[in-house]
Amino acid sequence: MPIFQLYTNASGSKITPDFIKSTVKVVADTLGKPTHRVVVHVQSDQKIFAGDTEELTGIVTLRSIGAMGKEENKKHSIAICGHLDKTLGIPPNRLKIHFMDVTPSEIGTDNSTYHYILGGT
């Protein structure tokens, strides 16, 4: 159920199917979740200023049911920053990540919520 959203001023030409697939794998691996549950949403060509410059930058929101916390998020930050630096050229110091640990009842799919999908009553 992890949802990874990236807003970036990187060119849309860099957001290839291979980039999306590799991002799904990075997110799944760092969170310890199956790839078939990961959603990746990228908005490229955005007008983003960080400080007073339009240099390459990105804003990530990562939502997950569990697998979040002080130490875990540091590990996730290393994985995400490394991936986006390698694939899109966004330097780690130009990336901001918002980690959101959500409850199963806050995410819905297939006419239900993960509360019930995961066996809750």
> pLDDT per position in the chain (121 positions), as tens?
899 999 999 999 999 999 999 999 999 999 999 999 999 999 999 999 988 888 999 999 999 999 999 999 999 999 999 999 999 999 999 999 999 999 999 999 999 999 999 998 8
Residues with a catalytic annotation lie at 2
Dihedral angle over CA of 45, 40, 107, 80, nearest 10: -90
Q: What is the pLDDT of residue 114?
A: 94
pLDDT at 52: 87
Q: Up-side HSE of residue 103: CA atoms within 13 Å toward CB?
A: 5
